[in-house]
Amino acid sequence: MMAITRYDERSWCDMLIKRSDKVQYNRVDMEGVVGTRIQWLMSKEDGALNFAMRRFTIAPDGRIPLHDHPWEHEIYILSGTARVFTESMNVDVTSGDVLYVPPDEPHGYHNTGAEDLVFLCLIPNSGDKR
């Protein structure tokens, strides 16, 4: 049996393990975005064939405005609180909530809490427009 040792990044067989705290943060560059950073934790650049895993951090009172795109995404709220909104509704979410956003659904996020909102967002690789 092979013992697993943690390194900053290690690949054996076809598995890749990375430390998320070593992945670069970038500003989200979209009109109307305030106080939002993204990390591409896993993507096609890492050899992921189908999906990209991203971690977003939105500062208190930060936001991502209403927008849409032709791919679905799944979101898991790790910490913080926010208002998620569409053209017709507002929903408050918090740590432990899971969201599914269908393709072409206009949606946005506003951190309504006093701490950073942190969430994982998974998208198909077709949505990776870097």
DSSP letter assigned to residue 96: T
Which comes out higher in pLDDT, residue 46 or 64? 64
Q: Which of 58, 60, 43, 39 is nearest to 108 (CA)?
A: 58
Question: Given a cut of 90, is residue 16 above it in pLDDT?
Answer: no
Claim: this prediction has a pTM higher than 0.85: yes
What CATH number belongs to 24-127?
2.60.120.10
Q: Which of 78, 41, 75, 81 is nearest to 62 (CA)?
A: 81
Per-residue pLDDT of 49-66, as tens digits, reads: 999 999 999 999 999 999
The whole-angstrom separation of Cα 34 and Cα 29 is 9
Q: Within the chain, what is the greatest distance between any pair of CA atoms? A: 54
pLDDT recorded at residue 13: 60
